[in-house]
Amino acid sequence: MISHKIVPNISVDCVIFGFDFEKLNVLLVERELKDEKSGEILIKDHTLAGYHIFEDEDLDSAAARILKGLTGLDNIFLEQFGAFGQLDRVSSPKDKMWLDYIKKGFADRIITVGYLALIDNTKVTLTLKDRNVAWFPVATVKDMEMAFDHKYLFYTALEALQRKVKVEPIAFQLLPDYFTISQLQKVYEAVLGTSFDKRNFRKKVAQMHYVIPLRKKQQGVPHKPAQYYLFSREVYEKTRKARISFII
């Protein structure tokens, strides 16, 4: 096994959002430190999936490697949402205690590059390694204890995702090939943390020429069967340049 040298003052942190067809979740890693003698719990909180980069890899590769190592997740499309370098971002007493304990040769000051992804979390299996990794509803994060500046990173990533879902067709990645308007509305509501009037939402979708109604309807459902739609990337791309697409 080749041993890679870490860069002591540069890390990456991944904010992985998961949609489960009901709500938006985020992937967090448990951090626990017990007193060796008394067994008393000194630290118990959560971190994002992150670590230092290696000297011989670029930022994107580091993010992919670290995510895979901590969670087993592979081939996730990761996108940067910012670099963070506040002087005190890893220097709270709790975080100092943690860094002293793990003794990995990190610098006192660490700049981190944040990456985010949005995936269908019902389709993934987490590989639990030496630390607990789990999905948490985004709405519960505000009351959680988090390490370093990771709560701030999380909210920054959430805002970036919310901007993104409004101007890029990422919602469709989470849906099956044929979907109903209700399913589409659910994605937008979960990501944006809001609820839309059903009729207004339908009107908006009617203006998206790349969301194409099919003759197909739901079958075997207890309620009035809903119509299916599909997302046409071809129409989306074709009409994108022609549109003067300011948000109005």
According to the binding rule CB under 8 A, does residue 34 interact with a copy of itself? no
Site for a copy of itself in 39-98 (CB under 8 A): 53, 55-59, 80, 82-87
Query: Of 33-41, 131-139, 206-214, 217-225, which segment contacts a copy of itself by CB under 8 A?
Result: 206-214
Distance set, CA 118 to CA 10, 62, 79, 122, 164 (Å) = 24, 18, 10, 12, 11
Query: Nearer to a copy of itself by C-beta: 126 or 165?
Result: 165
Tokens found for residue 109: 């000051």
Could you tell me the CA-to-CA distances from 133 to 8, 67, 68, 88, 136 in Å, in that order? 24, 11, 12, 26, 10
Give me the 166-205 binding string for a copy of itself, x by CB under 8 A, dash otherwise.
Answer: xx--------------------x-------x---xx--x-
82 three-state secondary structure: strand
111 touching a copy of itself, by CB under 8 A: yes
Cα–Cα nearest to 53, from 111, 6, 110, 102: 6
Tell me how far, at minimum, the Cβ of 13 lies from a copy of itself, in Å.
Answer: 12
In the numeric block, the tokens 């230092």 are attached to 52
Does residue 27 bind a copy of itself (CB under 8 A)? no
Does position 109 interact with a copy of itself (CB under 8 A)? The reply is yes
Report the nearest approach of a copy of itself to the CB of residue 128 (Å): 30
Site for a copy of itself in 125-154 (CB under 8 A): none
Residues in the chain, how many? 248
Minimal distance, residue 117 CB to a copy of itself, in Å: 16
Q: Which is nearer to a copy of itself, 80 or 183 (CB)?
A: 80
Nearest to 16 by CA among 147, 124, 140, 169: 124
**Cβ atoms of residues 41 and 34 within 8 Å:** yes
Question: Whose Cβ is closer to a copy of itself: residue 53's or residue 153's?
Answer: 53
Tokens of 43: 């630290």
**Chain centre distance of CA 63:** 13
Asked if residue 61 lies in contact with residue 78, where contact means CB atoms within 8 angstroms, the answer is: no
Binding site for a copy of itself (CB under 8 A): 7, 9-10, 53, 55-59, 80, 82-87, 109, 111, 113, 163, 166-167, 188, 196, 200-201, 204, 207-209, 243-248
